[in-house]
Amino acid sequence: MLPQSKEYCSFFFFFPLFLACGGTLSGTGEFRSPYYPNPYPHNKVCEWVINQQEGYVVTLNFLSFDVEGGSCRFDFVEVRDGPSPSSPLLGKFCGDEIPPRLQSTQKSMYIQFSTDSSVNNHGFEAAYDSAIEGCGDTLTSPSGTITSPGHPTNYPHGANCTWYISVLPGNLIRLLFDSFNLEYHTNCNYDYLEVYDGTGTTGNKTGRYCGRSVPPSITSADNQMTLLFVTDSSLSGEGFSASYVSINASTGKVCQKTSMFRTQFVKNN
């Protein structure tokens, strides 16, 4: 009896590797460190410039982040408010903590990823988008005011604005609405304001609001809160005005040392 022949099957698994190191981007999209999700190469300097249309700014959200930690002298990601390495610094990041959402004040943003010859981690993945100029901000003062673009006149169509509030650890954020007038829909599908606990829209959503009813006061679960304002291409209203204060998580008292901050909205002619 002849021995039975054995058939061996080979299986190959392919994982996409992103090799690009820098480039010029616009609109909406994502970019990654070279070889992501595998470890990035040594001794690289990658530069991205994101350009949006006039009247718009750049928003940047890191989806994952794993860069050699320490003092950010060896491997780091640097983000600047403008198109060049000499533009004002928005932040320099390393380690494995996802950076906060970043937003430029003009139509361009510069990102540099630099690595040395030693440790190499998995790198990062980031998403970029545009927002109407004067729409959204990062607020770190213990109190402040947030208004929809153009308020008290009608807000623009096609807005997508995000405000990120972060106060000192050990404090909570209390958000109070002064006025509210958005296009109404039963499920708030057209124009709406969403409020989240934490550092982005992946956190716990505390509510979605539209119409003319002023929302109730909202208190965060920790020291961070995110507001997302979205409008469609049809009806618009006067928008909203809200203020926030930082309160002590233990006593519930409003922090005494407050320096008022008001976001400014500039209408482009």
The per-residue pLDDT for range 116-162, each reduced to its tens digit, is: 999 999 999 999 998 888 788 889 899 999 999 989 999 988 888 88
Dump pLDDT digits (tens) for 12-25.
444 455 578 999 99
**Percent of the residues in the chain that have a pLDDT greater than 70, as a whole number:** 87
Per the CB < 8 A criterion, the answer to whether 166 and 138 are in contact is yes
Task: Report the pLDDT value the prediction gives residue 86, as an integer from 0 to 100.
Answer: 96
- pLDDT for the residue 203: 73
Longest pairwise C-alpha distance within the chain: 93
Residue 6: how many other CB atoms lie within 10 Å: 5
**Mean pLDDT across the stretch 255-266?**
41
CATH entry, 137-262, from 2.40.100.10, 2.60.120.650, 2.60.120.290, 3.40.640.10: 2.60.120.290
Please tell me which residue, 82 or 261, carries the higher pLDDT value.
82
Distance (Å, rounded) from C-alpha 41 to C-alpha 31? 16
User: CA 233, 62, 155: angle at the middle one, nearest 5?
Assistant: 25
Percentage of the chain modeled with pLDDT above 90: 67
Question: What is the DSSP secondary structure assignment for residue 95, as one 8-state letter?
Answer: B
Amino acid at 182: L
Domain boundaries, the chain: 23-132, 137-262
Residue 158's CB is within 10 A of a number of other CB atoms, namely 9
* pLDDT tens readout for residues 80-102: 999 999 999 999 999 999 988 78
* pLDDT of the residue at 187: 94
Cβ atoms within 10 Å, residue 170: 11
Look up tokens 């510069």; give the residue.
Answer: 110
Structure tokens at 194: 């969403």
Distances (CA, A) of 235 to 87, 132, 158, 185, 220: 38, 17, 11, 11, 31
Count of beta carbons in the 10 Å neighbourhood of residue 265: 17
Residue 225 has pLDDT above 70, yes or no: yes
pTM, full prediction:
0.63
d(CA 164, CA 244): 12
Give the pLDDT of residue 13: 42
When the candidates are 1.10.3720.10, 3.50.7.10, 3.30.420.10, 2.60.120.290, the CATH number that belongs to 23-132 is 2.60.120.290
Query: What are 103's two structure tokens?
Result: 């937003």
Q: For residue 60, give Cα distances in angstroms to 35, 91, 125, 234.
A: 20, 12, 11, 27
Tell me, what DSSP letter sits at residue 182?
A: -
Examine domains 23-132 and 137-262 and report if their fold is the same: yes
